[in-house]
A = this chain, B = another copy of it.
Amino acid sequence: MSSLNDVARRAGVSIATVSRVINKGSNVNEETRAKVLKAIKELKYQPSRVAKRLRSKSTSSNLIGLLIPDIQNPFYVDVLRGVEDVAYENNYAIIMCNFAQDEKKEKMYLDILQQESIDGLIAAPAHEKDSNVIKLLNDGLPIVCVDRGLTGKDVDVVVVNNRDGAYVAVDHLIKSGYKRIAYISGQKQIPSSKYREMGYRDAIEDNGMQVDVELIKYGDSKHGSGVELCEELLSGANPPDAIFTGNNLITLGALETIHKRELRIPEDVAIVGFDDMMWSISLNPPLSAVRQPAYEIGKRACELLIQRISDPKRSPIQMTLNTKLILRKSC
């Protein structure tokens, strides 16, 4: 890889001139500009983003971090796509870090991101008191949180109305005549789980029914816990006639268990899940689900981040997007 210096020598000018040609372009003679451009082409010169980043923290290095708890979850893949599209348009590159719900891994990745001098970070923190993310925030790094905020911290956040999304789903279940509705929750410590539980509870109580804590199971937001907790539920003394699942991976796991037991959906158990997927219609049966605008979450988050990078003082925005209940055949 050739450097500014090589180009300068070849064009017979100083490196400052070359730099000017490349960047602003002001105050440079047409003739020399042509010479420089020619040299750049001949040498296939590409500026080093590394040197650029080292040189000027002020000048944007056009690199942002994306911290994600679980890339196997299609929800985050859609968020990623949203982030990426906006980043691409604005000439930002992304370092994507999947910490797989492992806080040790998370810390390692956040350290790396800081060491890479990223301009900003989009993060779905491990939980609301995530000290790893808070540390970076306190260090002054521009951050936008996604899917969950940080308690006591005034930070840009893009979330979904989890409570209402859950409420509408469970309310629909009740109105459809289901009596014993279970909830399989994701990790208890993440806010979205809590709010979804809140919606679940409110819907039940608002309909004059009583919450049965036996019907609430807490897992880890992954496929396996969907399988197991659904099994627990169904093998109990007084099994549910409907299940509300806390995210898409859990839904898939629960479906697996239900099918293994050769139960009919929705006759034996109905199911409605949080998170829709492109292929939910091809599941057995076509799945009813609460759709989150995942792509848009990513898009908005990245827009907010780019704004914040260019204006670190702007006061934080908390953006709440709405969910939509998609009814198909599973309830």
Contact = CB atoms under 8 A, between A and B. Distances in A.
B283 A48 contact: no
A114 B283 CA distance: 42
A237 interface: no
Interface string A38-59: 0000000011111101100000
Interface string A272-301: 000000110111111000000000000000
Contact of A285 (B46, B112, B284): B284
Contacts of A80: 71, 98
Contacts of A81: 71-72, 98
A67 interface: no
A116 interface: yes
A259 interface: yes
A84 B70 CA distance: 12
Contacts of A268: none
A105 interface: yes
A77 interface: yes
A111 interface: yes
A63 B54 CA distance: 16
Contact of A256 (B63, B252, B282): B282
A209 B116 CA distance: 59
Given A71-B77, A84-B98, A96-B96, A115 B49 contact: yes
A284 B329 CA distance: 12
A225 B223 CA distance: 28
A46 B111 contact: yes
Contact of A93 (B49, B116, B279): B116
Contacts of A283: 282-284
A95 interface: yes
A112 B93 contact: yes
A278 B285 CA distance: 17
Interface string A113-146: 0111100000000000000000000010000000
Contact of A115 (B48, B88, B279): B48
Contacts of A95: 93-96
Given A51-B54, A111-B46, A112-B49, A255 B282 contact: yes
B278 A259 contact: no
A39 B254 CA distance: 53
Interface in A254-271: 255-256, 259
Interface of A: 1, 46-51, 53-54, 63, 71-72, 74, 77, 80-81, 84, 88, 93-98, 105, 108-109, 111-112, 114-117, 139, 223, 252, 255-256, 259, 278-279, 281-286
Given A63-B116, A256-B281, 8 more contacts: A46-B111, A49-B116, A49-B117, A93-B109, A93-B112, A93-B116, A94-B96, A259-B281
